[in-house]
Amino acid sequence: MNIKDSEGALSDLNKFIQLEPKDKMAYFFRANIKHELGYTKQAIDDYLKVIELDQKYMEAYYKLALIKHDMNQVDAAIGHYTDLIKILPYNTIAYMKRGIYYLELNQFRQALDDFDKALNLNPNEKEAYLQRGITKIKLNDLEGACMDLKIAEKVGIKAASEYIKKSCKKDVHNFIK
């Protein structure tokens, strides 16, 4: 969408919201366009309005977390995932994303807890094995890391191979084949 189209859509959504002030999707689409146009503060306000209208609307939390992360406010991004987890405690993606942000902040125990929770909720969450393996490397649990990385490698996560080469001893690598 070009800027002219985005501005036109924004104008239409503003008019629609005046007519339907409780339509969460109108606020959500308007927030997306505002974010795309660089109106970050207004986008945040609209995403918060979406959550006010529908506390369980996951996409609004995801978008808020991404914006906060892009603004180098990783703690605030973690907070949005924490809020989502309180409302929807079985949301694997929220645990995964929060875990990645914890890992980014070198909060390895919290990251490990989130990756464990994600895998308990969904053992088929392939990326969680990679992220948990990386976290275990940071915690000096090389045997556990190598086991997770090997699982990630087997399910097609290519990045796992590099971590295995760098961090796994040959005997551990053979042990987990």
**Domains along the sequence of the chain with CATH:** 1-69 (1.25.40.10), 90-177 (1.25.40.10)
pLDDT for residue 171 is more than 90: no
Tokens of 3: 């800027």
User: Residue 44: which H helix or E strand, with range?
Assistant: helix 40-53
For residues 64-81, give the mean pLDDT.
97
Cα(81)–Cα(91) distance, integer angstroms: 10
For residues 66-73, give the mean pLDDT.
96
The percent of residues in the chain predicted with pLDDT above 90, rounded, is 90
Give CA separation, 64 vs 21, 49, 92, 144, in Å.
21, 11, 18, 33
Closest CA to 165 of 144, 155, 154, 150: 150
**Mean of per-residue pLDDT scores for the chain:** 93
Q: What is the pTM of this model?
A: 0.87
pLDDT 10s digits, 117-168 = 999 999 999 999 999 999 999 999 999 999 999 999 999 999 999 999 999 9
Cα(52)–Cα(58) distance, integer angstroms: 12
